[in-house]
Amino acid sequence: MSETPTDYTGPERILSGMQPTGGLHLGNYLGALKWWVALQNSGAECFYCVVDLHAITVAGDPARLPGRVRSAAAAYMAAGVDPSKSAIFAQSAVPAHAELAWIFQCVARLGWLERMTQFKDKAGKDAERASVGLFTYPVLQAADILVYKATHVPVGEDQKQHLELSRDIAARFNRDFGNGDAVFPLPEPVIQDHGARIMSLKDGAAKMSKSDPSDNSRINLDDDADTIARKIKKAKTDPEPLPESEAELNSRPEARNLVGIYAALTGTSVEAVLDEFAGQGFGAFKPKLADAAVEFIAPISGEYARLIADRAEIDRVLRLGAERANAAAEPVIAEAKRLVGYWRG
C-alpha cells in the first residue's frame, strides 16, 4: 500500500457553513460565527456558505427554503461577516459541491459513516425511514470543505467527528488518486475552548439547538430584550450559590452553562466570572447575565432587522458570493474529475 501524501503546500483557506433551518441562536454565534468574523481578517480567503443541499436531507417546506437561505445570509452579515472580504453564498449555487460529493461517496467507506453519532441522533429510532441523504450528509460536508481545498474550518464542538471524517476522506483520496501528491489538505477544525458547546437553557445536558421544540431552550439572534430577559429568568438552575472554583461546576451542568455563556458574552474567563459571583445565588446572577446578553445581541438583531428588509441586497450578496465560490471551486473539481478518470471528450 502506498503512503498517504499529507504534505499539502497550497495557501490557507477558510470554509464553514450553517443549515438554513430558521433563525440562528447564540450557540451558532459563540461556537462558530464569532470565529468566522475573526478569521476574515487573518489574510486567508474565506468561504461561508448556507447549506441548502444539506437542508433537504430532512423534510421541510420547499416554499420557505429560499427565505431561510436569505435569513441565514442576513444573520452572517449582521454578526459581522463582510461580503466584500468573505464569499457568502448558497451551497446549491455552486454545483461542484454535489459533483465532488459523488466522488467522495465512492471514496468514503460504509463503516466510516456508520460511526457518525449525528446521524444516529437525527435519524432516531426509525433509521430505516431516514433519507439516504441524511446518512451521506457528512460526505457532502467533506466536499463543501475540500472543493475549496480549505485548510481550516471554524465550527462548534458538535462538528468534530464530521471534520475527522473529512480528513479521512482527503487522505484516502490522496492515497488512491493523488499519484504521490497531497491533492487535498487535511482540513483542521478551528474549535475554541469557550463557546464551542453552548447548552440548552432548559437542560444542561442537551445542546442549544434549532431543532428543540421549545423556543425557551435557546436565545435567538433576533430575540428582543424582553424575550431574552424572560428566557434567562426561566432558565433551569439548581438551588446552590455559585462556587469558587471551575471544578465545582462539573457536577452542575446548568450552572456551568450559564457561567460559560456569561464568560463568552463578556469576553472573560470562567474563573473571572466565579471570582465576581462566588457565593451569590442565581437571583443575583441571572439579571446580570440577562443584561450582558441583551447588550450583546441588541446590535446584531438591529442589524439583522435592517438587512432582512432588503431582499434585493441579500440576493446581490449571494450572487456575488456564488461567483467567487464557483471561480475557486472549478479548478478543484476539474482536477478531481481528471484524477478519477472521467471521460473528457
Q: If DSSP codes are grouped into helix, strand and coil, which group holds residue 85?
A: coil
Question: CA-to-CA distance for 6 and 175, rounded, in angstroms?
Answer: 9
DSSP state of 53: H
Residues in a beta bridge with 189:
153
Question: CA-to-CA distance for 154 and 28, rounded, in angstroms?
Answer: 11
C-alpha distances in Å from residue 202, one per residue of 71, 152, 156, 207, 255: 26, 33, 20, 10, 11
* Out of 14, 37, 74, 145, the residue judged to bind ligand TYM by CB under 6 A: 145
- For residues 95 to 134, the per-residue mask of contacts with ligand TYM, x marking binding by CB under 6 A and - elsewhere, is ----------------------------------------
337 binds ligand TYM per the rule CB under 6 A: no
27 binds ligand TYM per the rule CB under 6 A: yes
Burial class (CB in 10 A: 0-12, 13-18, 19+), 6: middle
18 binds ligand TYM per the rule CB under 6 A: yes
- Total residues contacting ligand TYM by CB under 6 A comes to 26
* Out of 45, 93, 100, 144, the residue judged to bind ligand TYM by CB under 6 A: 144
Minimum CB distance to ligand TYM smaller for 144 or for 301? 144
68 binds ligand TYM per the rule CB under 6 A: no
All three cell numbers of 9: 503546500
Question: CA-to-CA distance for 88 and 240, rounded, in angstroms?
Answer: 45
Q: Which stretch binds ligand TYM (CB under 6 A): 195-203, 249-257, 302-310, 336-344?
A: 195-203
Given the residues 34, 120, 125, 207, the one annotated as active site: 207
Residues within window 150-169 making contact with ligand TYM, judged by CB under 6 A = 153, 155-156, 158-159, 162
Active site residue 122: yes
Longest dimension (CA), the chain: 75
CB neighbours (10 Å) of residue 64?
12
Do residues 264 and 194 lie in contact, with contact meaning Cβ atoms separated by under 8 Å? yes
19 binds ligand TYM per the rule CB under 6 A: yes
Active site residue 149: no
Please give the residue ranges that form the binding site for ligand TYM (CB under 6 A).
15-19, 27-28, 31-32, 51, 54, 141, 144-145, 153, 155-156, 158-159, 162, 196-198, 207-209
